[in-house]
Amino acid sequence: MENLRLLFESPFLSVQLLLDGILIGAIFALAAYGMALVWGVMGLINVAQGELVMLGGYAAFYLYRAGIHPLFAVPVAAALLFAAGWLLYRAVIFRVVDRDLFISLLATFGLSILLQQLANTLFGADVRTAESGFGTLFLFGGAVTVSRIKLVAFAGALLTGAFLMQFLRRSRMGQAIRATAQNPRAARVMGIDTDRVHAWTFGLNAAICGASGALVAMTWIVHPYLGLPYTVRSFMIVIIAGLGNVAAVLAAALGLGVAENFAGFILGAEYQAAFIFALLVAILVWRRFWLARERRYLR
């Protein structure tokens, strides 16, 4: 109650929370695009999504330590992770693509543990950061502060989303990916090498996660075990937004970020995640009723 009163007394607080929420949401959106893509095209829920984000973060950190501005790390991390994603596909993922969903969950869960422990062994358990040195923006006479890197991350997320949309719509491979998503069997009959399409899709997903990881390293922190929150939130966003709608994914991600920040402020940080999950349940229940109503009209 005390917190609610604070919120009403000072409108700038709401602005701050809103901005922070939108900016963190943009990063969730990136990981969620990738998950929706893989889910839609390959029918596979990638539980190792957060670990790909983590690897992207380490790429940015090592470039930063080598004296390169971490912003350049965004494309580099994307490229590296594309290769890593491709390799993961060739090594593990292709074996589970047409199998039961449960098997793909198990396989990617195993991958996530493997990647965490590998990162722990190779990079150490230390918490790392990469400084962008962009400083902070002051709004309303200092009552609201936004670090510039968060704005950059936001722009980066929008750009990546736009690029992804265009890629899927225009390019040859994009068309092949969409065709495969619609009907893999028909796509194969038409001469599309669906195996290659899958490899591309997974690589693309890893690349997007890599880019978001680089942004995470500049905005927050990187350590081997940071993956889970990103996986869980991507999953939620995709559940809410549905597959194959980039704009809806972005909207859901921003909404989630904002809701999360307000919940953290009002209920305290310990209920931040709990609130989000309660929200997910509420949305699913509501949607079920809504769908049931639709069905009644159809009858």
Partner 1 sequence: MPRTGLLAPAAAGFLLLAATADFAQAEGDTIVLGAAVSLTGKYSVNGKNTKDGYDLAVKRINEMGGVKVGGKAYKLKVAYYDDESTPARGAQLAERLIGQDGVKFVLGAYSSGLTKAIAPVTEKYKVPHVEGNGAARELFTQGYRYLFAVLSTSDYYLRDAVNLAAEVAKEKGRDPKTLKIAMAFENDPFSLDVRDGILEDAKRYGMHVAIDDKLPPEINDMAATLTKVRAVKPDMLLVSGHEKGATLVVRQTAEMKIDVPIVATTHCDSAKIAESMGKLAEGVLCASQWDRKLSYQDKWFGSADDYANLFEKEFKYPAPYQAAESTATVLVFADAFARAGSLDPEKVRDAIASTDMMTFFGPIKFDSTGKNVVKPMVLYQVLGGDYKVVAPTKWAETKLVWPRKLPQ
CB of 9 to partner 1, least distance (A): 8
Among 77-85, 176-184, 194-202, 269-277, the segment contacting partner 1 (CB under 8 A):
269-277
Q: In this chain, which of 124, 163, 183, 278 binds partner 1, going by CB under 8 A?
A: 124
134: phi then psi, degrees, rounded to nearest 5: -85, -20
126 scored as a contact of partner 1 (CB under 8 A): yes
Q: In this chain, which of 228, 248, 259, 280 binds partner 1, going by CB under 8 A?
A: 228
Q: In this chain, which of 17, 45, 199, 241 binds partner 1, going by CB under 8 A?
A: 17
273 scored as a contact of partner 1 (CB under 8 A): yes
State which residue, 135 or 191, has the beta carbon closest to partner 1.
135
CB neighbours of residue 245 within 10 Å: 14
- What's the rounded Cα separation, in Å, for the pair 9 and 216? 32
CB of 108 to partner 1, least distance (A): 19
- What's the rounded Cα separation, in Å, for the pair 3 and 30? 31
The H-assigned helical ranges of the chain are 2-9, 11-42, 49-65, 73-91, 101-123, 148-170, 172-182, 184-189, 194-219, 227-241, 246-267, 272-298
CB of 238 to partner 1, least distance (A): 19
Q: Does residue 128 sit in helix, strand or coil?
A: strand
221 scored as a contact of partner 1 (CB under 8 A): yes
171 scored as a contact of partner 1 (CB under 8 A): no
16 scored as a contact of partner 1 (CB under 8 A): yes
C-beta separation of 240 from 280 below 8 A: yes
- What's the rounded Cα separation, in Å, for the pair 223 and 295? 47
- What's the rounded Cα separation, in Å, for the pair 275 and 108? 27
Residues that bind partner 1 (CB under 8 A): 3, 6, 10, 13, 16-17, 20, 24, 117, 120-121, 124-129, 131, 136, 138, 142, 145, 147, 216, 220-221, 223-226, 228-229, 260-265, 268-270, 272-273
